[in-house]
Every structure is written in C-alpha cells, then in structure tokens.
Amino acid sequence: MPSNSALRLRARDTDRVDVCGLLDSAHDDGQLSDFEHRDRTNAAMAARTLSELDALVSDLQIADELKGSLPVRPAVRDRRWNAGLTAAVALAAVVALGALLFSAIGGDDADAPDRPENVLSAPGLARMVDDLRAEYGDAMVDEATIYPEYALIQRAEPGAPGMYQGIDYRDGLEEPDSRTGRDPKTVPVDLARLDVAKVVGLLLGAPQTLGVAEPDSVHMSLESGDQGPEVSMYLSDGRAGRSGHLTAGFDGEVFAIHPAED
C-alpha cells in the first residue's frame, strides 16, 4: 500500500465519532476555544476522508490513552509530509484562516458570549438562516454574499418581481432597502437547504485546496448556478498576490476548483 493511501481512505462514522471525542478532550483541557471546538466538530462530522479528519487534530496534544483514536497514525502522517506536504504548511493554512474568521468576533476575547457570531462560522451561518426564516417565513434569496463580519443579501420584493430588497446582516437583519432592476427570471435559492457543517468543513480546508496558505481575505457567495444552488468560496492573500476560488453545491459537493497560480 502506498504511504499516503491511508489518507485517501473514506472516513467511517466511527472515525468521525472518534475525532469528535478527541476534539471534546482538547476543548476540556483548554486547547480549543468554544468557537474552534464547534467549528471543528461540525467539520469532523462532514469529513469525507481520513485526511480531512487528520487535519482537524494534527495540531493538538493527544493524551497517550487517546492516541488509538487518531484517524491516521503518526508514522503514516510523517511519510505523507516527507512526500511533499509539510505539517507546518498545512497547519499554517488552517491557523491563518481560523485567525481571519475568528478576528471578527473580537480577537483574544472571542469567546465572550455577548459578542456576535462570525457569520462564516457554522453557528453564525445557522443563525443567519434562522433569522431570515423568523423574519420572512422562509430563507429564499436571490444572492447572499457573506464575509466574516457581515452578509449582503438580495431578496425579491414581495408582490413586485421587478424589484429586490437589499438587506445588510450584521449581528441581525437590518431594515431592507427596496430597489429596482431585479430580473423577474432570477431563480432564488433556499438557504435552509445549505448543509452548514459540510460547507464550513470545506471552507476550513480551502487554504490547502486553493494553495492560499495565509489568506487575509475570505468570503462566500450563494446563488443559483448551472447545476442548481451553488456556494462559491474566494480566498486571497494580498501580501503574496495569491488568490483562488472554488464552487460547490449546497450539499458540499465540489463542482470546480480554481487554485492560485504559481
């Protein structure tokens, strides 16, 4: 078996549960904040391969009695890094994106309960969808562009298909502005169909996937595409002049990857 074969294996439910247990232990002993624990747990439950699970725990200190729960044994992981991808690079990508996503919640005081959720986190996305449904009775939108700190949402004006509402979402829905210029043929998408755990898991792996190891800008766009409802993720590192994006379905299935050019 090739040295990296184990990393390409599909994850089982038992593997996902084991990794969630490791994350719980890391949260209990102070290695992970509440937000990190929540996002990594959601990503673990959405992981498709052992490699994805491995990335979620590779930077943690694992107690000896729990090492049997690791998705990839250290010896296999070491061979993988020697084959061309170093653990430092992979971890730097996760840490850089994590720092960017969590910075909007309040820096070192990110766990304070009175601060708004990061909109690109799993709880932040779920809350935004819940707020839309509570306010309008559904989560149908023409387009939603989401940043860590806020989201810009376009919805059809009720009873006026040629107009749309522009809504700012910043720790809650702002009063919408009605505007003209909406194409009545626009196909709205239902954000309630978004698999938040899988999409956030995909986002956490995007720095490595796109070759943007230290992104300083990230956002997502959700709208109807050629293959139905689509989510596009955009990462860029202005200092290095690198950017890339990928497109996936609301279920997390990747449609296209456009990595940064070397």
Q: What angle do CA 40, 42, 44 make, to 5 degrees?
A: 65
Is the per-residue pLDDT at 253 higher than 50? yes
The pLDDT of residue 7: 55
232 pLDDT band, cuts 50/70/90, is very high
d(CA 154, CA 32): 35
Q: Name residues whose C-beta falls within 8 Å of residue 124's C-beta, 6 or more positions apart in sequence.
A: 116, 117, 118
CA 122/CA 129 separation, integer angstroms:
11
- Write down the pLDDT at residue 92: 46
- The better pLDDT of the pair 146, 121 is held by 146
Q: For 155-179, what is each residue's pLDDT tens digit?
A: 998 888 789 999 999 878 988 887 8
Cβ atoms of residues 235 and 245 within 8 Å: yes
Tokens (6 digits) for 169? 């979402």
39 vs 21, 122, 250, CA distance in Å? 14, 6, 18
Pair 179, 156: CB distance under 8 Å: no
φ, ψ for residue 197, nearest 5 deg: -60, -45
User: Helices 50-57 and 196-204, interaxial angle, to 10°?
Assistant: 70
User: What per-residue confidence (pLDDT) applies to 82?
Assistant: 40
Task: Please tell me the predicted confidence (pLDDT) of residue 98.
Answer: 57
- Angle CA(164)–CA(169)–CA(173) in degrees, nearest 5? 80
Residue 191: count of CB within 10 angstroms of its CB: 23
Residues 164/143, Cβ–Cβ less than 8 Å? no
Identify which of 25, 29, 91, 26 has the alpha carbon closest to the alpha carbon of residue 54.
Answer: 91
Please report the pLDDT score of residue 67 as a whole number. 80
Structure tokens belonging to residue 193: 């169909």
What is the predicted pLDDT for the residue at 43? 85
Rounded mean pLDDT of 177-200?
Answer: 89
**pLDDT given for residue 74 in this prediction:** 54
pTM of the entire predicted model: 0.62
Q: What is the C-alpha to C-alpha distance for residues 123 and 38, in angstroms, rounded to an integer?
A: 8
